Amino acid sequence: MSDRVETNASKVVLVTGASRGIGAACALLAAERGFRVVVGYRDDHAAGDAVVRAIGQAGGRAVALRADVSREADVLALFSAIDGEFGRLDALVNNAGVVAPASRMVDYSLERMRRIFDVNVLGSFLCAREALRRMSTRLGGAGGAIVNISSVAAKLGSPNEYVDYAASKGAIDSMTIGLSREVAAEGVRVNAVRPGLIATEIHASGGAPDRVERLKHLVPMRRGGTAAEVAAAVLWLISEEASYVSGALLDVGGGR
């Protein structure tokens, strides 16, 4: 093992929404780097278990824990389970998120908007709050790192498609900046990664499985990105290599 993996050997990272896509890629890479991994998932128990098995087969340690991050009771139970299983938390990747089918705002229902903000924004706030209660040196913790998964959509706005999703990620950007300054002296670094057009299942859940291929001409690099490329940025931000980085919004969008 490398020195970096040895250094991470006792550390614990929670990745929410880790049963697929970017979250799964982050979980797998974190395990490869030596972290013990909590694979958070909402509905797909089989997919969460598959990520845990893949980590175990590669010699890592992981557990899959269910939680709907938009429900405070679920979040409290999730962190309580982490306390019982590992007794520590060193990093949080706030990845859980949802998107609705592409539509103009005039057709949005209240239910659609509420779900997107409940999961994407309030879920990230709840998980960050509980992580801070365990990591902040002011509260007796040993410090740590939080990486929020935002989106390039926060600066593009996603007109005619996902204005609500884009706005939810704009809120995550603001939360990242504000929280990073709030806890900078408490041993906790807070950053965000803003993926661009990434080939994951989220496009299909938004009703556009061909979205990456259809829009890749808008990306200066002329291709969609991969979940692994996003995960590499996330793992850098939670590593000691980024020890003086906090409040950053790191775009992983092919130049877009």
- Which residues are catalytically annotated? 165
Q: What is the CA radius of gyration of the chain?
A: 17
The CA-to-CA distance between both ends of the chain, in Å, stands at 36
